[in-house]
Amino acid sequence: MSPRMEHDAGPTSRLAAGLFLPAAAHRAGDGHALLAPVLVLNASYEPINVCAARRALVLVLKGVAMTEEENGHFLHSARVAMRVPSVIRLLEYRRIPHQSRALSRKNILLRDRNTCQYCATVLPSSELTLDHVIPRSRGGSSTWENLVACCHSCNRRKGNQTPIEAGMKLMREPRAFNLHTSRHIMRLMGRSDDKWRKYLFY
């Protein structure tokens, strides 16, 4: 569940983002710190999204959010050193639509946890493609319910067939993102950060 946060278009946000460009960072690890996942809470403490540390820092510097938990690392630039957040909370409550994720390759792979839905192999995003369960040439549409993550080997094997015709079986029925799906993904990601647990495991 992803809140529609304002874009970083103003001078304040550009300045905030500029403070933490990897090129300006003093330590080699700072660039990676910018990509660390940060849990985003609504003003009500409800978990609603995961974003990169860079985005989280911009939201904090703009006064849109506040840091609730830190991950123990500092991010250094030429002018400032800031603790990297692990959890941030929006200062104003955002009403989150039941489904607000755009249909995209990235979100299909996120929903399917980078796992081929035919052979259950977990792979990097670069080694996965999207498969139309019902092929486009046979009327299949590009929807949440007809697109799945697929490895190249299974994609070639399935070809222009349905799973039944190819003798293949889907791991699970593909569905659109919903509250349960998003919360489950956040919990999976939160297993690597103990500071997320009190917000996700209840």
Show me where the domains of the chain are located.
11-98+180-200, 105-166
Q: Rounded to 5 degrees, what angle do the CA atoms 89, 177, 69 make?
A: 20
Decide: residue 117, CB within 10 A, 0-12 exposed, 13-18 middle, 19+ buried.
buried
Q: What pLDDT, on the 0 to 100 scale, is given for residue 21?
A: 44
Q: How far apart are CA 79 and CA 25, in angstroms?
A: 10
pLDDT digits (tens, 9 = 90+) for 177-200: 766 667 767 776 666 678 888 888
- What kind of fold does domain 105-166 have according to CATH? DNA Binding (I), subunit A (1.10.30)
- Asked whether residue 93 carries a pLDDT value surpassing 90, the answer given is yes
With cut-offs at 50, 70 and 90, classify the pLDDT of residue 98: low
Mean pLDDT of the chain: 80
Please say if the pLDDT value at position 171 is more than 90. Answer: yes
Give the pairing type, strands 147-151 and 128-132: antiparallel
Asked whether the beta carbons of 89 and 70 are under 8 A apart, the reply is no
State if pTM tops 0.75: no
| pLDDT over threshold 90, residue 130 | yes
Question: Over the stretch 33-76, which tens digit does the pLDDT of each residue have?
Answer: 787 889 999 999 988 888 888 899 999 999 999 999 998 777 77
Dump the DSSP string for the chain.
----PPPS-SHHHHHHHHTT-GGG-SSTTHHHHTTSEEEEE-TTS-EEEEEEHHHHHHHHHTTSEEEEEEEEEEEE-SS-EEEEEEEEEESS--PPPS------HHHHHHHTTTB-TTT--B--GGGEEEEESS-GGGT--SSTTTEEEEEHHHHHHHTTS-HHHHT---SS------HHHHHHHHHHHHTT-GGGHHHH--
Residue 160: predicted pLDDT: 95
pLDDT above 90: residue 27: no
| pLDDT above 60: residue 119 | yes
- Give me the pLDDT at residue 48, please: 85
Residue 153 banded pLDDT, cuts 50, 70, 90: very high
